[in-house]
Amino acid sequence: MSEVLILVDAVDGKVAKSTGELATYAKAIGKVNAVLFDEALVPQLSAYAIDNVIICKGIDVTKFSPAPIAQSLAQIAKSKSAAAVLITSSAKGKEIAGRLAVITESGIITDASAIDSELITTQLVFGGSTTVHAAVTHGISIVTLRSNSIEPLAGSATPTTEEFVPKISDLAKLAVVTSTEPAAKGGRPELTEASIVISGGRGTNGDFKPVEAFADILGAAVGASRAATDAGWYPHTHQVGQTGKTVSPQLYVACGISGAIQHRAGMQTSKMIVAINKDAEAPIFELADYGVIGDLFNVLPQATAAIAAKRA
């Protein structure tokens, strides 16, 4: 049976759901080996379809991101003769994958929304307007997969564990992390991981309060169009679109966003799209499963109150 490596993803000591998604894809290919550097996370991995956990020891990867992680994965992939390495499509995940491809002389495919048992990937390109099927043809299949693309399979048994001590070269330690500052966040989920995203644009006129209130009652993440972030109304880290983040949630609500092609490129693959806009001709309505022609300052507070009332 083929050996597949997945890189465990964790935020604040909690294994991310994306790890379970990687495991689900890997399970269809072969034996699922989850690689991690923080042993404390091991008990949480039983929740997902993981056969074996490889605990990397002897390197503090938080001090030198991301080179030693790539070097470790390369050594494990070699020792296991792995057929594929699956990594979450985050900024750091893609850097690790890129380095891994160079070290192992393997092809790489990024931002896939699926990979099948024959190692054929699916990607949505050009803002979701085209579906591409592709495959790696040289070396190990190194693939990064977007979050929220599959429902994770539940684990059926406690995975076996093994330890691995990678040999980390001095070249992988040239850039040193001297200190870290946690992201300021108000308890909202990470934009690319959230199952619901509420975004505000030019129509907010800089007032994101109704957008945030609606997001909070739904446990959603808050996004913003480039117009809103360029105006300084919302942090750039929340920008959805061609030069920002690509999201694919179950529900995307665009509030006061006209829907320029560059914004659409970042949200077009959302499962359900709702648009609220005063301009009945706004292009965002072409994408919307449900569109409200109206003022977000009326519609959003009313919707927030309606949800609160149903739950009371």
Judged by CB under 8 A, the residue of 57, 154, 165, 175 near another protein is 175
Nearer to another protein, 49 or 277 (CB): 277
Instruction: Tell which positions 98-127 bind another protein, by CB under 8 A.
Output: 98-99, 101-103, 105-111, 120, 124-126
For the chain, state the CA radius of gyration.
Answer: 21
Instruction: Tell which positions 195-254 bind another protein, by CB under 8 A.
Output: 196, 218, 236-237, 242-243, 250-251
Between 64 and 93, how does the x/- string for binding to another protein read (CB under 8 A)? -xxx--x-------------------xxx-
Judged by CB under 8 A, the residue of 177, 206, 209, 279 near another protein is 177
Is residue 152 a contact point for another protein (CB under 8 A)? no
| 2 CB-contact burial (10 Å; exposed 0-12 / middle 13-18 / buried 19+) | middle
**Chain centroid offset of residue 221 CA:** 13
- Count of residues touching another protein (by CB under 8 A): 93
Is residue 34 a contact point for another protein (CB under 8 A)? no
Query: Three-class SS of residue 91?
Result: helix
The CA distance from 48 to 154, in Å, is 5
Is residue 188 a contact point for another protein (CB under 8 A)? no
The CA distance from 288 to 80, in Å, is 47
Instruction: Tell which positions 154-173 bind another protein, by CB under 8 A.
Output: 171
Query: Three-class SS of residue 2?
Result: coil
| 262 CB-contact burial (10 Å; exposed 0-12 / middle 13-18 / buried 19+) | middle
Q: Shortest gap between Cβ of 171 and another protein (angstroms)? A: 5
The most distant pair of C-alpha atoms in the chain lies apart, rounded to whole Å, by: 61
